[in-house]
Amino acid sequence: MGILSALGISKPAQITASTPNIKAQVSPAIYDAPFGQYWGNYGFGGYNNYATSIDRQNAISVPAIAQCRNLICGTIAGIPFEVYSLSTGEELDSLPAWVKQPDKRAPRAVTIAWTVDSLMMFGVAYWRVTEVYADDNRPARFEWIQNDRVTVKLNKYSSEVEYYMIQGEKVPDSGVGSLVTFQHVDQGILLRGARIIRAAADLENAVSIAAQTPQPSGYIKNNSADLPEDQISGLLATWKAARLSRSTAFLTQSLDYVPTQFSPAEMTYNDSIQSMAAQISRLLNVPAHMLNAETLRSNTYSNVIDARKEFMAYTLQPYLTSIEERLSLDDLLPRDQVLRFAVDETFLRANPLDRLAVTEKLLTLGLITIDQAKAMEDLTPDGDVDEDTNF
């Protein structure tokens, strides 16, 4: 050993199985910088940079966005997790506690719904580790963290994250208090869809103002001497209050009311709302018919059934993949295991007659047993029984 040390050669240090150094995912690459521009130009782009994005509360106040959010988050939240062995393909029964309930304080569906919400709005989601397993130091429990509580310190090239901070305090890279980060396939709608969302919010405000105004907007023309500011303010307040209680107005000879607002039909509010809902459906990749945003609909019974598969493939799958791939990494599950959403058994489950036909065929071919067929239909297996011996 002395000769090896003198030559600068030594055996690699042995890492014992009792104290593995398992870290959460840290320092991810920056994906949302604008291409072809110097980093940070005009405050646009940048991992976790919401400088040019619209506020989430304003975005969610738009009914079409709220409907899309609830469709996507609510559907994914209701799909349970499954863990499989990569070597055998077998579904595993012995699972970490967090697979069924990541956060002790909330049902799994609540944590998953808000995780998807973060991916949709911001393009990134955060779980903070609250417990770890003593045997391998892998995370055992988590809590979802609001995006506006998290900030990052970038390297000098603004190409990678050096460390995370929660409310200004640096968090560790591993163990209790560290962050598990979920990256989505894009920047999130608050940044890439800010212009569309802002226009939709402005349209909702315009409709709200029109609904609150009992009479068409206009101005009161004074044909006599100018009035002081306090009298003008009082006149306008009295006019508005009177219009809330009666539609008939009375003006003196020196005052005229000149309406300036077009009717709702002339303002094309209905058409604008319908058009904006279609734009938002494109923004979130949600089929327009699910938002009643189609002007011409030709759905039949058969393609309504197929629409669920289309919704899964083109709308939900990117969110499912972001969560599945992250939760299957080695810092959370052993390398031979992979986590998946049980889509086929829940959201895409066939109707009972179709399932019965498939099960019958599998039994006829001898590919499954009666107990396995019962398990496929969530029935309690009785145990394989030899009918000839009644054992």
Render 202-270 in DSSP notation, one character per residue: HHHHHHHHHHH-SS--EEEEE-SSPPPHHHHHHHHHHHHHHHHH-S-----TTEEEEE-PPPTTTTTHH
pLDDT tens figures, 357-391? 777 777 888 887 887 777 766 677 665 544 443 43
Tokens for 234, please give them.
Answer: 């009082």
Burial bucket for residue 217 (CB in 10 Å: 0-12, 13-18, 19+):
exposed
The pLDDT, as a whole number, for residue 173 is 87
Q: Is the pLDDT of residue 101 over 90?
A: yes
- Average pLDDT on 244-258 reads 73
The pLDDT, as a whole number, for residue 39 is 39
DSSP character string of 290-356? GGT--SS----HHHHHHHHHHHIIIIIHHHHHHHHHHHTSTTTS-TTEEEEE-TTTTTTPPPHHHHH
- Distance of alpha carbon 155 from alpha carbon 75, whole angstroms: 38
- Distance of alpha carbon 369 from alpha carbon 265, whole angstroms: 65
Confidence class of residue 353 from pLDDT cuts 50, 70 and 90? Answer: low
Within its chain, how far is the Cα of 339 from the centroid?
19
Among candidates 221, 218, 215, which has minimal Cα distance to 260? 218
pLDDT tens figures, 129-149? 999 998 888 899 999 999 989
pLDDT tens figures, 13-61? 443 444 555 665 666 777 665 443 443 333 334 444 444 568 899 899 9
For 71, half-sphere exposure in the C-beta direction (CA atoms, 13 angstrom radius) is 20
* Residue 338 vs residues 135, 305, 330, 334: alpha-carbon distances, Å: 20, 30, 9, 8
The least confident of 65-79, 89-103, 208-222, 360-374 is: 208-222
The pLDDT, as a whole number, for residue 378 is 67
Q: Is the pLDDT of residue 3 over 50?
A: no
Among candidates 106, 76, 105, 108, which has minimal Cα distance to 95? 108
The pLDDT, as a whole number, for residue 155 is 81
- Distance of alpha carbon 297 from alpha carbon 78, whole angstroms: 28
- Distance of alpha carbon 79 from alpha carbon 206, whole angstroms: 39
Residues 6 or more apart whose Cβ sits within 8 Å of residue 216:
259, 260, 261, 262, 263
Higher pLDDT, 261 or 296: 261
Facing residues of 339 across strands? 83
- Distance of alpha carbon 275 from alpha carbon 291, whole angstroms: 11
Confidence class of residue 165 from pLDDT cuts 50, 70 and 90? Answer: very high
Higher pLDDT, 168 or 384: 168
How confident is the prediction for the chain on average, in pLDDT? 78
- Distance of alpha carbon 357 from alpha carbon 316, whole angstroms: 28
Tokens for 210, please give them.
Answer: 């029109």
8 Å CB contact between 51 and 38: no
The pLDDT, as a whole number, for residue 299 is 55
pLDDT tens figures, 180-236? 999 998 889 998 888 899 998 888 887 776 666 655 667 778 888 888 888 888 888
* Residue 141 vs residues 25, 106, 332, 360: alpha-carbon distances, Å: 16, 11, 10, 42
Tokens for 29, please give them.
Answer: 């690459």
- Distance of alpha carbon 98 from alpha carbon 93, whole angstroms: 14
The pLDDT, as a whole number, for residue 303 is 60
The pLDDT, as a whole number, for residue 328 is 93
- Distance of alpha carbon 352 from alpha carbon 359, whole angstroms: 10
Burial bucket for residue 150 (CB in 10 Å: 0-12, 13-18, 19+):
buried
